[in-house]
Structure 1
Amino acid sequence: MDTSASTRQSDISAGNPRIRVGIGGWTFEPWRDNFYPAGLSHSKELQYASRQLTAIEVNGTYYSTFKPPTFAKWHGETPEGFMFSLKANRFATNRRVLAEAGDSIARFVDSGISELKDKLGPIVWQFMPSKALDPGDFEAFLALLPQQVDGLPLRHTLDVRHPSFATPEFVALARRYRCVPVYTDSGKFPAIADAEADFAYLRLMRSESGVRTGYTTEAIAQWAQGVRTWTGGERPRDVFVYFINGAKERAPAGAMELLRQLGLRG
């Protein structure tokens, strides 16, 4: 094991366990040129990434069903304090009538995600950009979301992408069911915030290939200030920040720069 990386991870956990910063997935060919060390075995990529960052959002669970041994393996390969956010399977969200998603929700939640134990972060329920808000149907969907699995508390975040969701009524509805809107920094999707939410979930999607860190250091400094505000004060709360999409090849550098500016990485 890389001792210095392990020490950095311990510092992160001790420094501010409420902050998690990462990327989407850990398998991406361009990262083998600018993030992973030359010659690193593909089987070691999760082990390496989890010691440079503090979280990963898993996209594979959106498309496929994984089994308990896979989640247990991820838990075993990552250090203490690391977290995974899981995208729920698309069969639960890509449907005309959300109120009928009960079986798909249960199938995903009971697929073995509890094997991640304390490393299970929020579950991301991602909806199609064409899915507009139908308050009654959407509330019926939220009522189906379980609050725990195998005794493990669950946190839910809603990645809604249609502009009809950008209303105080939607924010209030989500809060009623203890769900948190994803705050998306994107030119295509609405940025929805809930200042009273139990945690914050940010997806930064404007990375530029011409900037080494995707976002400029000045822009990252602004995000860092927002993170500090969220995790400080009289009501400190967890925050998850993912550099994702956009110029994806720059995502790891952006996440590491944010950790550096937060004082959570050497």
Structure 2
Amino acid sequence: MPGTARIGIAGWTYAPWRGVFYPKGLPHRAELEYAAERLDSIELNGSFYSLQRPSSWRKWAAQTPDDFVFSVKGGRYITHILRLRNTREALANFFASGMLSLGPQLGPLLWQLPPNLPFDVETLDSFLGALPRTAVEAASLASESTLEEDRRDTAAPADRPLRHAVEARHPSFADPAFPRLAREHGVAVVVADTAGRYPLLREVTTDFVYVRLHGDEEIYTSGYTDHALDRWADDVRTWLDAGLDVYAYFDNDVKVRAPYDAMGLRARLSGLG
């Protein structure tokens, strides 16, 4: 059976989008709902900068359709400060913060590694092995959280698989050992288009593909031409035909290109572009 594609944007709260993508006068509180009417997924990146509150996760779920999916970016404290070492307490707090209340709206967990973190087999193997593979495993880990009670969501989630993806940015990850290790753990290697700044790795290592489109010619800034969107649509169709699910997010937000490029790619995959 063909896979399922989710096409979206990385984040949705950007001041330059107001009056351009978001209609003038649209209340800020309505921006997520507006974006969710035009796309079927968003990569939630506020979780990268700080732990979110349980009330926020519940609010976001309520503002989006039941079949909408959030991918969630892992905390930089885990990836950039701890650098994947001694992460158990930090992982417990991350999963206790409320994301499990999303239920079926919870998509893959994205772990973006810093550009100055080289590939180390033992460190990555240990980290990937510590990641929970199901919601129940995540809830069990979250029970070890040291967060204050009002910052924790202790409700028992319905069990379902969890997916993880790793975005590597150090050139040393262009090593066959990296996708081999990811394959052993059932973790996706992120296909990241960064206008040549970081490695573009296209290895398929599990049952889904995670794509981050940061800019065609200039990272975070340039939009994608019709030709470029056609090429990415062809790639997505190839993965879907192979039975893989695809999550693709545009992160070229500086010049308000991300939502339009995401809608353009989605239209192509729907046969409308």
Q: Give the residue type in structure 1 aligned to 2:260.
A: A
Cα distance in 2 between the residues matched to 1:180 and 1:107: 23
Cα distance in 1 between the residues matched to 2:95 and 2:271: 32
Q: For each residue in 1:161-208, what CA deviation from the matched residue of structure 2 results, as whole angstroms up to 9, or x when unmatched?
A: 101111111001011111111111112111112234210011111256
Cα distance in 1 between the residues matched to 2:54 and 2:60: 10
Residue 152 (structure 2) aligns with: none
Q: 1:241 aligns with which of 245, 248, 252?
A: 248
Residue 130 (structure 1) aligns with: 116
Cα distance in 1 between the residues matched to 2:87 and 2:47: 16
Cα distance in 2 between the residues matched to 1:98 and 1:29: 33
In the alignment, structure 1 residue 194 sits paired with structure 2 residue 203: yes
| C-alpha spacing 1:50/1:97, structure 2 compared with 1 (3 Å) | closer
Cα distance in 2 between the residues matched to 1:237 and 1:152: 18
8 Å contact from structure 2 (residues 32, 64) kept in 1: yes
Report the identity percentage: 42
| C-alpha spacing 1:201/1:97, structure 2 compared with 1 (3 Å) | closer
Compute the TM-score of the two structures, normalised by the length of structure 2.
Answer: 0.85
Residues 1-266 of structure 1: pairs in structure 2 closer than 5 A: 18-95=4-81, 98-149=84-135, 150=157, 151-186=159-194, 187-207=196-216, 214-232=223-241, 235-245=242-252, 247-263=254-270
8 Å contact from structure 2 (residues 180, 205) kept in 1: no
Cα distance in 2 between the residues matched to 1:124 and 1:75: 19
Cα distance in 2 between the residues matched to 1:25 and 1:32: 14
Q: Give the residue type in structure 2 aligned to 1:33.
A: G
Q: Give the residue type in structure 1 aligned to 2:191.
A: Y
Compute the TM-score of the two structures, normalised by the length of structure 1.
Answer: 0.87
8 Å contact from structure 1 (residues 208, 247) kept in 2: no
Number of residue pairs matched by the alignment? 247
Task: Quote how far apart the aligned CAs of 1:74 are.
Answer: 0.8
RMSD (CA atoms): 2.1
